[in-house]
Amino acid sequence: MDDSFIMPVAIAGALAGAYKVWETALDAREAANRIAKDTCSRAVVQFLDGTVAFAGFRLSRDSRGKRRLLRTYTFDYTNDGFERAQGFIVLAGNRLEAVGLAGNPS
């Protein structure tokens, strides 16, 4: 095999990998949006801005010692229409690990 064949295959592989990372990130964000809306609905507060914001990620180990990527998202809500408060969501893949509201937004 010569370089004229290997380079396009390597580029195609890199593009496929980048697409998979992007698609996984979008799926996680959609899951976080659904969770934020449901959490606000159950808490009888208003979900503001209609979306979550990516706050960061970290590697963690599960109970079996396997590494996993945890993504954290934040969102704003209000219970009185004036004061904003911030909630958070932590996902492992698309699975909920933690969700929380800041208590009283005032």
- Residue 47 domain-assigned (yes or no): yes
Mean pLDDT for back-to-back runs of 10 residues, the chain (106 residues): 77 90 92 96 94 94 89 95 93 92 65
Examine residue 78 and state whether it is found in any structural domain, yes or no.
yes
Is 106 contained in some domain?
no
Question: Considering the domain boundaries, does residue 29 fall inside one?
Answer: yes
Predicted local confidence at residue 105, as pLDDT:
47
pLDDT confidence of residue 2: 64
**Predicted pLDDT of residue 106:** 43
In a domain, 31, yes or no: yes
**b/e 84-101 (16+ beta carbons within 10 angstroms → b):** ebebbbbbeeeebeebeb
* 72 occurs within a structural domain: yes
**Residue 62: what pLDDT?**
83
If one counts the domains in the chain, the total is 1
